[in-house]
Structure 1
Amino acid sequence: MASSDTQTGLDGVIAAAKAHTEKGQAPGRGLPPVHLWNPPHCGEIDIVIKRDGLWFHEGTPIGREALVRLFSTVLRKDPDGYHLVTPVEKMKITVEDAPFIAVRVDRVGETLKFLTNVGDEVEAGPDNAIRVEMDPKTGEPRPYLHVRRGLEALIARPVFYELVELAQERVTPEGPQLGVASNGAWYPVGPVGAHCL
């Protein structure tokens, strides 16, 4: 049987992610150090992360939650797009919007703590900003949370409702804004008086 250093393709991604997750390379989730790996580009793999956060392989949903979480640990955003990365190869995948979804938020003291659909626990703050874009097609807000190294989570609609409920008014150069504070940073979520959703 090949080692994780010599396996390639999808099996190689699975083997590398398992090997490095089990070693506990990073606190919390044992994230592999994908930012330190510089493997050759090996083409594309037919994996699509849909706008709703569901992962598909060759047109079929990946039903195993543990496998999706495993793949998420070796996901990296490079200037040319999103890739699954191992020490020996990187394969481009398609991400329709953000790779993750923020499915929960809790106010703990002065901190907003989020949980993503793949198990990441993220504290909003200077290193993990919240930003809100307006969807050019619908005119509705598209709120995002930075998770790690350029990877973002779309904040799910019910979670964004919670943020709006927590928001307080501030005067900004753009006029009065509703926003939320976390770890000493303040993030606007919409203009005062606007029905954000």
Structure 2
Amino acid sequence: MAEQNVNSSATTTISLEETLKAILPDGKVEGKLPPVHLWNPDRTADIDMEIRADGSWWHGGGRINREKLVKLFSRILRQDPDGKIWLVTPYEKVIVHVEDAPFTAVRVERAGEPGPQQTLAFVTNLGDVTLAGPDAPLRIETDPETGEPSPYVLVRGQLEAKLTRPVFYELAELAEPAPDGSDTFGVWSQGSFFPLGSAG
């Protein structure tokens, strides 16, 4: 899976595990996220790192089954304005080929009174929690051919999670008419209304 303008050669082989050990010497995934938005290394590489549509991580054609390692990698993910997604450290950037979204939302919880004051909390496949609202919007993309919706919620930076089908069904059960009186249905979270689709 080649990527233009990304260098990769035997002389620029990057040991991600060693880099992660330098960033998180105790290996803990809790606590403050590294400031990847501040890191702009010149060194880049393509080592065939991939996140598939089901949220699984792959390297060199083989699935990465070590959950702890995947969680560590996810902490240094960044999406740049050009749409490319990278693993970023102070020393190098590794391109990540993402089939759909870097995360999947596997659970949704509602807190507060139903309606504008409620908060919807989404939990990702890697344990991130994002509260939908003005700073973490929900959006729906609709396939123009099939009409099938693809729902996403912002997790951090420009990184999104795609809602799994069961989570989207749960969300649909919480839907109510839009406040503008249109035939749109949607959900509230932290005072923001997010359309899910039309009643028709």
Q: Which residue of 1 aligns with 2:71?
A: 69
The 1:41/1:79 distance shift into structure 2, 3 A limit, reads farther
2:121 maps to which of 108, 113, 123: 113
Q: Contact 2:139–2:194 at 8 Å: present in 1 too?
A: yes
TM-score normalized with structure 1 length: 0.85
Query: CA contact under 8 A between 2:105 and 2:123: conserved in structure 1?
Result: yes
Runs of 4+ in 1 over 6 A off after TM superposition: none
Give the 5 Å matches for 1:13-162: 13-19=19-25, 22=28, 29-80=31-82, 81-109=84-112, 110-162=118-170
Q: CA distance change for structure 1 residues 151 and 17 in 2, over 3 Å: closer, same or farther?
A: farther
* 1:16 to 1:126, Cα distance in 2 relative to 1, 3 A: farther
**Which residue identity is paired with 1:190?**
G
Q: Distance in 2 between matches of 1:20 and 1:50?
A: 28
Name the one with the larger strand percent: 1
Amino acid in structure 1 at the alignment position of 2:168:
F
Report if aligned partners of 1:103, 1:156 keep a CA contact under 8 Å in 2: yes
Structure 1's unaligned 5+ residue stretches are 1-6
Query: In 1, are the aligned partners of 2:43 and 2:91 still within 8 Å (CA)?
Result: no
In structure 1, C-alpha distance between the alignment counterparts of 2:152 and 2:31, rounded to whole Å:
21
Q: SS of 2:188's equivalent?
A: strand
Contact 1:16/1:87 (CA < 8 Å) preserved in 2? no
Quote the offset at 1:138 in angstroms.
3.2
Distance in 2 (CA, whole Å) between partners of 1:133 and 1:115 is 20
Distance of 2:187 and 2:19 partners within structure 1: 38
2:91, 2:130 → 1: CA distance? 29
Separation in 1, partners of 2:89, 2:26: 10
What value does the CA root-mean-square deviation take over the aligned residues? 2.1
Cα offset for 1:125?
0.4
Distance 1:180 1:120, change over 3 A: same
Q: Which runs of 5+ in 2 are unaligned?
A: 1-12, 113-117
Cross-structure match for 2:16: 10
Secondary structure of the corresponding residue to residue 44 of structure 1: strand
How far did 1:176 drift?
1.0
User: What fraction of aligned residue pairs are identical, expressed as a percent?
Assistant: 51
Q: How many residues align?
A: 182
Query: Secondary structure, in 3 states, of the residue corresponding to 2:183?
Result: strand
